[in-house]
Amino acid sequence: MSVSFCGLELAHPVINGSGTFDVIAAERAFGPALLADLPFSAYVSKTITLRPRAGNPPPRLWETAAGMVNSIGLPNKGVEAYLAEDLPRYAKLPVPLITNVMGATGAELAEVAAAVADRPEIAAIELNVSCPNVATGLDIGAVPSELEAVVRRVRAVTAKPLVVKLTPNTADVALCAQAAEAAGADAVSLINTLRAVALHPDAGGARWLGAGQGGLSGPAIRSVALAQVAAVAERVSVPVVGMGGLQRGAHAADLLSAGATLIAVGTESFRDPGAGKRVARELAELTGRATHPGAPRHP
């Protein structure tokens, strides 16, 4: 099941979605054995920005029938404290570290990327381009020409493998993927959460989330993820990291057959912190079985 990805040799194709599995908190809760036996073949840390951010006002979560809406608002300690406090802990992980960064403009993103660019503990950088452009209200990654310019700026400041985490909130995600590739991305990852609103259960249409809107994740978005991953994989030659609502090995196999090289477990890790390990095991069993003619494909 080992897999090559952007020059990294990974033990299996299952990683985590940024912001959905906090290894520092997990070590506190479950002990150091968890880190030695990490469920993921690479670890993606949660989004960091240039300066510290408090995040959005509460409430920040809403559970839906088949998923959840979050508006966490990227609370983080900023890149300087990330490098000083978190990086030494992540460096002890037995797998490569992918650092996820975000900025409101190309200049800001390039500044964060440059700050992490020469740290040997970091194997790759993932760019989160789901930050809203204050002028248009659209995500900065939603418009292919704007995305291309942003990725070019970041490409210029780092030789590390660059993964662009595409936004699904766009007219044509494959065009965005092509723009990222043209600007020098080494890989793309998708899907981030789908823009969503939750209403207060008993306040006549008032919005529930403190920030007014958020992003939908979980099983509800699995079919959208499958469609977007397939559309992107058909149009780019860089590797694709597929994610969105997967819960089982069979769902991971679907994303791989849609053209993904790696898959990421996200919301399912909140329900089952062992989900990464389970999905990797189920996927290995399925792949093994699939080599025998007549084996059932999806349980």
The catalytic residues are: 131
Q: Which of the stretches 70-78, 200-208, 234-242, 280-288 binds ligand RRO when contact is defined by CB under 6 A?
A: 70-78
- Per DSSP, what are the bridge partners of residue 125? 99, 162
Amino acid making up residue 168: P
> Of residues 203-242, which lie at the interface with ligand RRO (CB under 6 A)?
215
Q: What's the min distance (Å) between Cβ of 225 and ligand RRO? A: 13
Among 6, 48, 50, 74, contact with ligand RRO (rule: CB under 6 A): 74
Helix (H), strand (E) at residue 249: helix 249-257
Size of the site for ligand RRO (CB under 6 A): 13
Instruction: Judge contact between 244 and 191, C-beta under 8 A.
Output: yes
Helices vs strands, H then E, count in the chain: 11, 14
Whether residue 59 is preceded by a cis peptide bond, meaning omega within 30 degrees of 0, is yes
Nearer to ligand RRO by Cβ, of 134 and 159: the residue is 134
Instruction: Classify burial at 107, counting beta carbons within 10 Å of its beta carbon; exposed 0-12, middle 13-18, buried 19 or more.
Output: exposed
Nearer to ligand RRO, 41 or 169 (CB): 169
* b/e per residue 245-269 (b: at least 16 CB within 10 A): bbbbbebbbbbbebbbbbbbbbbbb
CB of 120 to ligand RRO, least distance (A): 26
Among 72, 149, 227, 284, binds ligand RRO (CB under 6 A): 72
Least Å from the CB of residue 36 to ligand RRO: 28
The answer to whether residue 73 forms part of the interface with ligand RRO (CB under 6 A) is: yes
Give min distance, CB of 100 to ligand RRO, in A. 8
Residue ranges binding ligand RRO (CB under 6 A): 19, 47, 70-74, 102, 128, 130, 192-193, 215
